[in-house]
Amino acid sequence: MKSSNAAPMGVIILGASSAIAEAVARRLATKGVRLGLVARDAVKLAAIGDDLRIRGAPQIAVRAWDLAAGPAPGALAELAQEMGGADTVLIAYGLLGDQALAEADGAAALELLQVNFTSAVSWALESSRVLATICGAHGLVVGLGSVAGDRGRKSNFVYGAAKGGLALALQGMAHRSALTGAPRGMVVKLGFVDTPMTAGFKKGGPLWSTPDQAAAAIVQAMARPKAIVYAPWFWRWIALIIRLLPEAVFNRADL
């Protein structure tokens, strides 16, 4: 993946049936990018693939995998070969879960951590290994993180801990790349996005964005990657304020 403001040549999207991932895929298809689509629902993937071909994707390969189970040896490399090569992997799946349930039920907490952290980091490492053999330092592994991972808050600290851990892993990959020339890592920290995953939230106002707005920021970041990107951009400053609040002040805020 080059940082020359050019679109990637081939992108594998893990969690391709999510609203944000589908919006990313549509934008990439119009740029003529080869696509590898991975999600659990084979029927939905086939429909998405048909739509993306119409939009201009020159090559599409699909796989119905349970991503939470982690990567199977050789599977990602095989997918990259079928689609004609890849230089970018986007890890776009996740589970918001329920904080109260996670606190009350260890199995629910474990599921949140497995989906959002353990399996995601495993896929990031496998993606880096595969891209290293295909395009070396031009490879890019992108993970969708969350501003929830910037500071632990009462309302969602299990989910936030998982997303914060994924962000650290991807930042470490970015640092490794700077020193060794390995594929880069990048985390895109999203704010509030109006998707089915946030269906239970009260929405509206300037802090909320659409899946397509999030996708625009993600595709732009792919063209000029850096270790951490906030989407939309203003969340960088909101998150900074939250991180810098003194504990005495922070502990009076019901966040």
Set 65, 93, 117, 159: catalytic member: 159
The distance from CA 23 to its chain's CA centroid, rounded to whole angstroms, is 13
The β-bridge partners of 62 are 37
> Burial level of 118, CB count in 10 A (0-12/13-18/19+)?
middle
The position carrying tokens 């929830």 is 148
Task: Read off the tokens for 28.
Answer: 């990439």
Q: Determine whether 230 is an active site residue.
A: no
**Type of residue found at 87:** D
The β-bridge partners of 185 are 141
Three-class DSSP labels, 73-137: CCHHHHHHHHCCCCCEEEECCCCCCCHHHHHHCHHHHHHHHHHHHHHHHHHHHHHHHHHHHHHHH
For the chain, the C-alpha Rg in angstroms (whole number) is 18
Does the bond joining 58 to the residue before it have cis omega, within 30 degrees of 0?
no
φ/ψ (deg, to 5) at 193? -125, 135
The catalytic site residues sit at 159
